[in-house]
A and B are shown apart, each in its own frame.
Chain A
Amino acid sequence: MSDEEHHFESSDAGASKTYPQQAGNIRKGGYIVIKGRPCKVVEVSTSKTGKHGHAKCHFVAIDIFTSKKLEDIVPSSHNCDVPHVNRVDYQLIDISEDGFVSLLTDNGSTKDDLKLPTDEALLTQLKSGFEEGKDIVVSVMSAMGEEQMCALKEVSPK
């Protein structure tokens, strides 16, 4: 191949969404990718090498966005994908009519592509707090190209 075109990726250049980690080293409370979904591990059990072959780790985990329970069994010496999970706080500016929120980023610009949370309690708290004119800071969790509001707190006006 003589002419190699160089492709420059727009965002996320150099930052991968997951990193490999040996299954035996992933603990309860850590993160793991199961069936392409980023999950938080709630249970790990290891079965020793035996008639079933190599030692294996049995993971029970919750999808961090959909809250669905997923499980996986992996030989403990194999590598699993662990998602990079980020939490960023933003100040809430506005809630739009079509279900998006407008947020103030650190550098002063706005972020308008975040949808309202699907969680009922969080949604109610957000809407009522905003209508009452309170200052709200939202926590946005992001992993593997997906993001979702996961918490909010009301701050007293300065």
Chain B
Amino acid sequence: MVNPKTPSQNSPHLPRKKMEEDRVLSSVHSTVFKESESLEGKCDKIEGYDFNQGVNYPKLLRSMLTTGFQASNLGEAIDVVNQMLDWRLADETTVPEDCSEEEKDPSYRESVKCKIFLGFTSNLVSSGVRDTIRYLVQHHMVDVIVTTTGGVEEDLIKCLAPTFKGDFSLPGAYLRSKGLNRIGNLLVPNDNYCKFEDWIIPIFDQMLKEQKEENVLWTPSKLLARLGKEINNESSYLYWAYKMNIPVFCPGLTDGSLGDMLYFHSFRTSGLVIDVVQDIRAMNGEAVHATPRKTGMIILGGGLPKHHICNANMMRNGADYAVFINTGQEFDGSDSGARPDEAVSWGKIRGSAKTVKVYCDATIAFPLLVAETFASKRTKP
């Protein structure tokens, strides 16, 4: 018997070793190259934009859908918003037996569109996204707006004096000594807020007068409509919201410079009352009474605007469309970072809804989204 451990040129065990190697090799091969399910026809292929066709911006934006990662999420968000804009009640083929005659009328059904809630945080109004928002409001492309106090005053202040581009790295103490306030890499001079104070205090005086003499009970949304009327400046989204009768809700009205002004005004001439109860009726009413319209939410950033809009939609068993654009993360359990699916668990978004979250700074994502949705639909014949 030949010892297998002592190889020699023409030993009979060489074929066995080769068989062993072959077996190992084929096992490794099948692990690494595990036979895969074919995705052909089931998933989109990844393909980026080819600059050989020149710099074609609409095509470039459309290529995002197949580029992957957040570009794909933005592409999907664009799709969802276009669905929001395209939907008509006539698309719903099942007509409930108990609906009114009017609701059965085909031409009426063609006219009923999705109700769109737009929410955004104040930093975005300090940025140039304010002008994108103004465009949407100017052309009545959204139905309800929810924002924070800063989201209102930054828009008004820009009509009185501009915001400037600075840098994230500018030192705080130095800026303070120069009377400059930093918002990220933007700068707002103190003087702008002084101008705001000089502008708004007489308006509060007048509002207090109307409260006392004409029994007007002011709410945040009524106040904001009045401020939109008073600013009377086409660069302001608040002005257009007033003109287009689009309500702007700001339940946290005291948390900002506007709140400071209310505080000071109360020392000079006290008594101005602002009722938040009326406004929550109105806001939730926007959602509850939206039916038979579908509702869609476009929310930039987190915080109060995000939750307030989702909560209102909970009152109608959930929104039908939702697009979140923010940089929040869910690991800390915050509402700001929560994905649309978390809202589904609350009934704030329907299980059947079309939703997307784009993890991106809205200063990049939102103008691009509007270009491919609201703006391109408006400019098409």
Q: Which A residues have a C-beta under 8 Å from some C-beta of B? A: 49-54, 56, 71-74
Contacts and interface: CB of A to CB of B under 8 A. Distances in A.
A53 B267 contact: no
B181 A52 contact: no
A73 to B, nearest CB: 4
A72 B193 contact: no
A49 B164 CA distance: 19
A50 B190 contact: yes
* Max count, chain A CB within 10 A of own CB: residue among B179, B196, B264: B264
A49 B197 CA distance: 11
B260 interface: yes
A54 B197 contact: yes
Interface string B244-271: 0000000000000100110110010000
A73 B264 contact: yes
B190 A49 contact: yes
A56 B181 contact: no
Contact of A53 (B179, B181, B194): B194
B257 A52 contact: yes
Contacts of A52: 193, 197, 257, 260-261, 263-264
A53 to B, nearest CB: 3
Given A49-B190, A52-B193, A53-B264, 11 more contacts: A49-B179, A49-B193, A50-B181, A51-B181, A52-B257, A52-B261, A52-B263, A52-B264, A53-B194, A73-B263, A73-B267
Interface residues of B, number: 15
The majority secondary structure among interface residues of chain B is helix
A72 B263 CA distance: 11
Contacts of B190: 49-51
A50 B193 contact: yes
A73 B264 CA distance: 7
Contacts of B191: 49
Contacts of A49: 179, 190-191, 193-194
* Max count, chain B CB within 10 A of own CB: residue among A50, A51, A54, A73: A51
A52 B196 CA distance: 9
Contact of A71 (B181, B257, B267): B267
A115 B267 CA distance: 33
Nearest to B188: A51
15 contacts: A49-B179, A49-B191, A49-B194, A50-B193, A51-B260, A52-B257, A52-B260, A52-B263, A53-B194, A53-B196, A53-B257, A53-B260, A53-B264, A73-B264, A73-B267
Interface string B183-223: 00000001101101110000000000000000000000000
A49 B193 CA distance: 9
Interface in B263-317: 263-264, 267
Nearest to B266: A73
A58 to B, nearest CB: 9
Given A56-B264, A72-B267, A51 B257 contact: yes
A106 B197 CA distance: 52
